[in-house]
Amino acid sequence: MSAEANKARDHEGRTGIFRGRTLSGYFVLLLLAVSPSAAQVFLPDDPLWVDPDTLAISPPAERSLSDTFDFFANTFGSPGEHEGPALNVNTLGEVPNSTWYTNRHYLHPMPLEALQRGPDTAAGPSEEAPWKVVGLTSEGKTPRLLMVDARGDRYLLKFDPKAYPEISTAAEIIATKFFHAFGYNVPENYLVYFEPGQLETAAGSGLTPRDLARIVHKAPRYPDGTYRALASRLPEGEPLGPFLYHGTRPDDPNDIFSHEARRELRGLRVFSAFLNRDDARNLNSLDVLAGTSARQYIRHFLVEFSATLGGGPLGPKPRWAGHEYAVEAGPIAARTLTLGFGGPAWMDIVYPDLPSVGHLEAKHFDPKSWVPQVPNPAFERMDAADAFWAARQVMNLSDDAIRAIVATGGYTYPRAEAYVTETLMQRRDKIGRAYLSFAGGLDRFRVEDSLLVFEDLQATYGFTEPGRLRRISWFVFDNLTGEGGLPLATVTTAEESLPLPEAVAPFLKAEIETPGEGITTVYLRYTEAGYVVVGIERKAA
Amino acid sequence: MERCSVLCLFLIGALLAVSPVLGQQTRAERWREARQAKLDQVRPPRTSLVKKVARFVERTSRLVTDIETPRPPVIDGVQLVFGGLRSGAGTTAGLRLEPLQHLDRLHLTVEGRASTKRYWGAQTLAGYDGDRFYGYGYARYRHLPQEQFYGLGPDAPRDMRADFGLDEGIAGGLVGAQVNRKVFAGGHASYLVNRIYAGENDALPNIHDQFGPAQLPGIEADVDYLVLGGFAEVDTRDVERTHGYGSRFAPTEGHLRGLSLSAQRGLYLAAEVSQFRQIGAGHNDFMLLELEAQQFIPLRNGYQVLALRQYAALTETGGGNTVPFYLMPQLGGGDTIRGFNNGRFRGRNATLLNAEFRWQVWARLDLALFADAGHVFDRFEAWHLSDAEVTYGLGFRFRSSPQRIASRIDLGRSREGFVLMMKFGSFL
């Protein structure tokens, strides 16, 4: 603690009636603590870390969406009813594990090998026998082959455009690993290299070898005669169609939080900006009927990452990507009337001549103004708390972690891999600078040896000088009324380890004010093991 | 005091332990209750009629417009195809059969098409698509009953419009080699049969009534040809080449195409010489030389493009030979001078200049301002810049993807008024 901070603390001193503890005071608190009330803030199992959303359901029917309808509905309308903060969070502001989301790298650091492995459970499709192509899909604008390997596993084969080798397959592999680390359900995606003879048409597929040849020949061929594809293993379970980014599924009783009120979907905007996934729309999601026959429930996946980073299945992304929605009347009118001379500055961005990378850069990247192709109801409702939740996860990716994940993209040219790595590091830092100042940027609260310990994320990542002064006010917290209750002490300190008040109460509250940035309020519950952090609230200045 | 604290802590623990008994609910229970409540109200998602219609349109339109994807067969091995018969033929559709689907590089197509203006045609194409070498054999028959004709030369008046019928048969082969990544060269040989007859458009006078043999070489007799040709092209444009690209030079293809709409930068140079040697009696031998240069200059990283094209089609005859009027170069229409109708001008020679400034205003739409100047002439001495027909106008280009223009609409203005043209498909 700095001398200045000590001086300030001594000056503030301690206040409150619990300086001298009295028996009557304890009993008052005890009675308050145990009185049943629906209004009480913290329930016995708070903070909830597992959302019990696997109630057995009757299998719903597969839902088929119209991409065109979604486009118009989201562009010219405003789907979703919930306004306000995210609802599916626990009292710490975290997203409990659920059929949507699993807390991974941020709360439980993954070794580099696990980050690189991502969701993969095998080494990819078996090459012991030719892959039987059973169908063709063009949902993603480019033809893909649905095939079955010798083990009977079903994969979707996706290819790169001929003139831009690796641009799409590398991006999808990399994005899969990142989204997995962030906590989402994603399919297992593998890079495969194969001779044309590895593909055979299955009986009854309606496809001919010519159809296969047409599709495969559109892909770049390596000097050794092989083709490269991304083999996306279809999630286990019966596919039920995409989920929506607003409302709930009426045939799924487990789906009780409006999707636009789900923090993991609102915060997905930050992750999507980081990875330039501008087609984060309904169509690129998937509900799957999971579980056993005795208990079936729906799991929710993000799918289709081929249009992340700088390109997609058709080549480099248009320069619009991330800068403008697909339809914005004002900019269109301006460009029309000025013959294109009045267009915005991003039109002049010069991208590196890397065909396998496309249009990805960090210099002009602005996380707050980044937008997907089509307005997303959950993204539209992202607030500072959602953004903070996501941004700290992005910032939690070390240089080594980013380097390790990008290496899984299988870029032939080291320059491409190095550029993507460096660019993602810079985009990560911009995200941190944009969002981490919320309420002081404090996180990782815990009680250790009678100290409330936390981390100033901005200082951790070098965005601010360490040792910033903060004003801490301690209160007894009334869990039944939710009111701050009796003040205990107020100190001003630069320390990130705060001694707990000497008073013992069922609940304590610490308001940590970072001048100019806001207040982070931490709630402690007294348990047999001592105090534990039970709640966190953040409020911007 | 310490004893007091211990007592209090004990009480806290005890009371917390019994709190469920007192009615204190857990968070998980609350959320579970909400789900149980919803379980009683479960209903299948409702799909509005608008959504159903949109979904239906998406599925069906993909069958028609997604030419990148093999289309589902109408009957086993047979596909539905649209357009592709002749500009000005009206709405056209047909069937295509590809019987050699099991072969990789070799392919065979047989197709037939017909239009609302009673045009029809049949074609078969057998070829080899290699990485470097290409070879095609082709045979085509076309019945073109309503071809329009205004007269020869730059001064052909609009009110002299007449029509004629042309049945055309051609069979031959083409071989080509990709010399390097940017240079393609090859040659072709064909047997060409033409039969002229009275047009079937009752609203127009017949060409035989409107023009006499003295005015129209080739009208008095049918002419068969042996056609031998050689070609070379240099292409540095940023548009993706596809297999079969060399068939652009086959006599079955329309050579005078429009400016590439998808290219943003690069150069395209092509030269082709074809010798038309008449089979049988007559004096209709001639040589056709076609030269083309296209240049694409990107501005603002290609969001604005200045596209320029120069084209010349020159015929040479000797010893009293003539060029049949229906084989003469022609100007007018969406690929040449856009303020005039298709085939508005014909002559033994033609030159053409196109300039187009285009800019993207939206991810799916480019706008273009264009100006065209075209001139047909009989002899080189008759070429005068001041005689060129000049048109200008506004164009709309619709993108099916960031890299690809799928269709366009051009509104051209000339001394004869406005002409609106629409085209679908890919453009080189």
Place of tokens 């001592």: A530
Point out the least confidently predicted range of A438-447, B86-95, B217-226, B269-278: B86-95
pLDDT for the residue numbered B247 = 66
Task: Kindly state whether A39 is in contact with chain B, defined as any CB-CB distance less than 8 angstroms.
Answer: no
Q: Are the beta carbons of A413 and A356 closer than 8 angstroms?
A: yes
Is the Cβ pair B102, A327 closer than 8 Å? no
Q: How confident is the model at residue A27 (pLDDT cuts 50, 70, 90)?
A: very low
E strand or H helix at B375: strand B365-377
Please name the member of B13, B23, B401 whose beta carbon is closest to the beta carbon of A528.
B13
Best probe of the A interface among B7, B22, B25, B27, by most A CBs < 10 A, is: B27
Task: Kindly state whether B392 is in contact with chain A, defined as any CB-CB distance less than 8 angstroms.
Answer: no
* Closest B-chain CA to A20: B1
E strand or H helix at B65: helix B49-65
ω into residue A372 within 30 of 0, thus cis?
no
Q: Are the beta carbons of B311 and B254 closer than 8 angstroms?
A: no
Which residues sit opposite A230 in a β-bridge? A158, A191
- Angle, vertex CA A121, rays to CA A120 and CA A125, nearest 5: 85
User: How confident is the model over A117-169, as pLDDT tens digits?
Assistant: 999 998 899 999 999 999 887 655 667 889 999 999 999 999 998 889 999 99
* Closest B-chain CA to A66: B55
Q: Is A444 helix (H, G, I), strand (E, B) or coil?
A: strand
Q: State the angle between helix axes of A268-275 and A414-435 in degrees (0 to 180), rounded to the nearest 10.
A: 150
Q: What DSSP string describes B183-222?
A: EEEEEEEEEEEEEEEE---TTS-BHHHHS-TTTSTTSSS-
Mean pLDDT of B186-191: 95
Interatomic CA distance for residues A156 and A136, integer angstroms? 9
User: How confident is the model over A188-222, as pLDDT tens digits?
Assistant: 999 999 998 899 988 887 777 777 887 888 888 89
Is the Cβ pair A52, B363 closer than 8 Å? no
Is the Cβ pair B359, A319 closer than 8 Å? no
| C-alpha pair distances (Å), B33 with each of A44, A341, B24, B28 | 16, 59, 14, 8
Is the Cβ pair B402, A335 closer than 8 Å? no
In this predicted structure, the answer to whether residue A29 has a pLDDT above a threshold of 50 is no
Please name the residues in contact with A26: beta carbons below 8 A apart, sequence gap of 6 or more: A504, B4, B5, B8, B11
pLDDT for the residue numbered B71 = 47
Is the Cβ pair A65, B28 closer than 8 Å? no
Is the Cβ pair B27, A43 closer than 8 Å? yes
User: How confident is the model over A406-442, as pLDDT tens digits?
Assistant: 999 999 999 999 999 999 999 999 999 999 999 999 9
Please name the member of B8, B35, B300 whose beta carbon is closest to the beta carbon of A343.
B300
User: How confident is the model over B405-428, as pLDDT tens digits?
Assistant: 778 899 999 999 999 988 765 443
Place of tokens 């210099």: A363
Backbone dihedral angles phi then psi of residue A144, each to the nearest 5 degrees: -130, 155
Please name the member of B22, B104, B359 whose beta carbon is closest to the beta carbon of A335.
B359
pLDDT for the residue numbered B250 = 74
Distance to chain A for B423, nearest Cα, Å: 22
Point out the least confidently predicted range of A12-16, A184-188, B255-259, B373-377: A12-16
Nearest C-alpha neighbor of A467 from the set A409, A514, A403, A423: A514
Is the Cβ pair A318, B362 closer than 8 Å? no
Task: Kindly state whether B27 is in contact with chain A, defined as any CB-CB distance less than 8 angstroms.
Answer: yes
Please name the residues in contact with B191: beta carbons below 8 A apart, sequence gap of 6 or more: B170, B171, B172, B224, B225, B226, B227, B279
**Which token pair is B48?**
């509005």
**Which residues of B fall within a CB distance of 8 Å from A528?**
13
Which residues sit opposite A298 in a β-bridge? A289
Task: Kindly state whether B109 is in contact with chain A, defined as any CB-CB distance less than 8 angstroms.
Answer: no
pLDDT for the residue numbered A41 = 92
Place of tokens 């009275």: B198
Is the Cβ pair A68, B45 closer than 8 Å? no
Is the Cβ pair B402, A316 closer than 8 Å? yes
Is the Cβ pair A250, B9 closer than 8 Å? no
Average pLDDT of chain A is 89
Q: How confident is the model at residue B385 (pLDDT cuts 50, 70, 90)?
A: confident
Is the Cβ pair A33, B12 closer than 8 Å? yes
Please name the member of B11, B27, B58 whose beta carbon is closest to the beta carbon of A68.
B58
Task: Kindly state whether B132 is in contact with chain A, defined as any CB-CB distance less than 8 angstroms.
Answer: no
Looking at residue A214, what DSSP letter applies?
H
Mean pLDDT of A276-294: 93
Task: Kindly state whether B181 is in contact with chain A, defined as any CB-CB distance less than 8 angstroms.
Answer: no
Q: How confident is the model at residue B3 (pLDDT cuts 50, 70, 90)?
A: very low
**Which residues of A fall within a CB distance of 8 Å from B51?**
65-66, 69
pLDDT for the residue numbered B101 = 60
Burial A473-495 (b: 16+ CB within 10 A, else e): bbbbbbbbeeeebbbbbbbbbbb
Nearest C-alpha neighbor of A176 from the set A412, A414, A406: A406
The complex's ipTM works out to 0.86
In this predicted structure, the answer to whether residue A73 has a pLDDT above a threshold of 70 is yes
Between these two residues, A272 and A77, which has the higher pLDDT value? A272
Distance to chain B for A46, nearest Cα, Å: 7
Interatomic CA distance for residues B142 and B111, integer angstroms? 12
| C-alpha pair distances (Å), A280 with each of A64, A140, A293, A376, B243 | 17, 13, 32, 8, 34
Interatomic CA distance for residues B248 and B386, integer angstroms? 32
Is the Cβ pair A208, B102 closer than 8 Å? yes
> Between A and B, how many CB-CB pairs are < 8 A?
203
pLDDT above 90 coverage of chain B, percent: 47
Between these two residues, A291 and A271, which has the higher pLDDT value? A271
Q: Is B354 helix (H, G, I), strand (E, B) or coil?
A: strand
Q: Are the beta carbons of A329 and A335 closer than 8 angstroms?
A: no
